Chains A and B, each alone.
Chain A
Amino acid sequence: MELSYSQINRDLLKTMEPPGRLYYVVLGLDLVVLLWGIYAWVYQIRTGIGVAGLNNPVGWGVYIATFVFWIGIAHSGTLISAILFLFRCRWRNPIYRTAEAMTVFALMTAGLYPIIHLGRPWLFYWLFPYPQEGHLWINFRSPLIWDVFAVGTYMIVSATFFFTGLVPDLAAVRDQASGWRKKIYGFLAQGWQGTDRQWRHYGSAYLFLAALATPLVVSVHSIVSWDFAMSVVPGWHSTIFAPYFVAGAIHSGLAMVLTILIPMRRIYRLEAYVTVMHLENLAKLIILTGTIMAYSYGTEMFIAWYSGNIYEQATFIYRAFGDYAVAFWIMLFFNAVVPFFFVFGRVRRSIAWLFAISILINIGMWAERFVIIVSSLAHEYIPFAWGIYKPTWVEVSIFAGTFAWFFLWFLLFAKLLPVVSLTEVKELAPPPQREGALR
């Protein structure tokens, strides 16, 4: 990058200027959808969980599918911010802030779902270990409790990582701001001045946070997959689940990063910072995760046949040709076929194609969670106990509302914080030298 430090400061702080009318229109629409979702949830709490389409045998539906979906979305943020940092992939610098913000907001959205899913959501704190009168503690042998620890840890660590990376930038914002903005950003920057001592300890802490976040991200979706794999439901009880879920998580997350970055770079005119090279690299990563997905789908089906287990076989035949066949074929086609269009350089470098395929993968990955959860529960062992699940308007409304919730945070982030890291982009630029630039 051939930009000077002050140019970078100017360009990137420009994204924080007061927004135009379009921003408020989008924000307004987002709030309308969010309020509708809140209304639906309040209605569900007041009336009872029966207003959702959940039944016996399908006790997990859209809520749990969407929970898994959002946790998955969160994963690629950590991949880009922590794992690519450890691999010294410097191209990640201009996009990591947005990806990390996506992680934090996706977790804030995912965290709502287990609570929404509860019949008595006000008792959600029963999941936490705390001493109480009956002397009974939580069951640490339950995957659902592992989930609480994994997702809770992930949320705290990624929020910390996100905020730590922000501090030097907040100081830069503080130094250019005036009035109340200077006070607020000054407070958030915590007195950062960029001394050598500060950079030294900051660099060390950042490296260790990245090193801790890397195994964490792998553990989180593995544990989420064990919510399923630890049971004896056909189609769930499989050792492939952990790696399969982690790859799927990153697959969907990368697609979501593209879905968000493409309009953002256009609106903020960040083409000089978030270049086609960045988008192309994300597309290449999607080829990798798409290949793992295709392999996992293949393995699942092969084992269903090869194991000779009739229940497993019946489940996979039901998935492909039963009541939820449409979702199954969407899953297969969008996740394991469409991404391979990225092997063509022209597709990879076309903004329109990138955007379209990223949205298809998002849809495909949501469909995957729906297929895994609902089709397995709908047709378990005894045909007498089979059942069908259909989402109701309440579930659809809450689903839409939580999307609005995610994008609300993103809209606020886009205006209140630097969406591209000033510091890390400056690290890519050649430093000012008196005696000729070093190359």
Chain B
Amino acid sequence: MKSEMVRILGIFAHLDTFTRAIGELRHLGYGDLTALSPVPRHEIEEAIEGKKSPVRLFTLWGGIFGGATALVLTIATSTHYPLITGGKPIISVPPFLVIVFELVILFGALATILGMLINIRLPRIRLELGHDSRLSEDRFGLWVRCSADAAQRVQDLLHAAGAEEVRHERD
């Protein structure tokens, strides 16, 4: 039978001990780690070695979609009711490109936000287990998800690595 999963939260006061703890736990095979910090730090990113964010693809496709929408909107509406204004062709490309430019940016930006929200699973109503208000102020937190059997060992490791507080939460 698979043993129950638990979540251990270690709170650190210093960035160097924190990143070292991440490295040690990963080295020992505890891969299910989540680092919490009040600011984004490259040291944490490097220790965790997360994948590159796919948000940029959302931006790209949003922009392409926006440009296509603008082309269809301007050309289709102009040919739908072909009224010559200012002696210019019905499909006047240069002015339509202004609309294309704006909608590339608009849709690109909205898709970027959408991509971010999807990837970070926000908005959510309840905070995840083990939230601590100090983590948005000046402390660094490390969630380790592991089986209940390994819980004690993880707690000891966190203490040894320099955590000033270690908590145990059921997953």
Contacts and interface: CB of A to CB of B under 8 A. Distances in A.
Interface of A: 4-6, 9, 129, 135-142, 145-146, 149-150, 152-153, 156-157, 160-161, 164, 168, 171-172, 174-176, 190-205, 208-209, 212-213, 215-216, 219, 223, 422-423, 426-427, 431-435
Contact of A175 (B112, B115, B122, B133): B133
A4 to B, nearest CB: 7
A135 B81 contact: yes
Contacts of B150: none
A4 B112 CA distance: 33
A209 B58 CA distance: 12
B27 interface: no
Q: Which of B35, B78, B112 has the most A CB atoms < 10 Å from its CB?
A: B112
Nearest to B59: A208
Contacts of B56: 204, 208
Interface string B9-42: 0000111110000000000000000111111110
B151 interface: no
Contacts, number: 193
Interface in B121-145: 122-128, 131, 133-138
Contacts of B5: none
Contacts of A431: 15, 39, 41, 43
B112 A140 contact: no
B55 A140 contact: no
B134 to A, nearest CB: 8
B48 interface: yes
27 contacts: A6-B137, A140-B77, A140-B78, A146-B95, A146-B98, A149-B102, A149-B103, A150-B102, A156-B109, A157-B105, A172-B137, A175-B135, A190-B123, A191-B122, A191-B123, A191-B126, A194-B36, A194-B135, A196-B34, A197-B120, A208-B112, A212-B105, A213-B109, A219-B101, A426-B39, A431-B43, A434-B16
Contacts of A213: 109
B3 interface: no
B137 A196 contact: no
Contacts of A145: 99
A143 to B, nearest CB: 8
A125 to B, nearest CB: 16
Interface in B74-97: 74, 77-78, 80-81, 83, 85-86, 88, 92, 95-96
A69 B53 CA distance: 39
Contacts of A136: 81, 83
Contact of A139 (B53, B85, B120, B124): B85
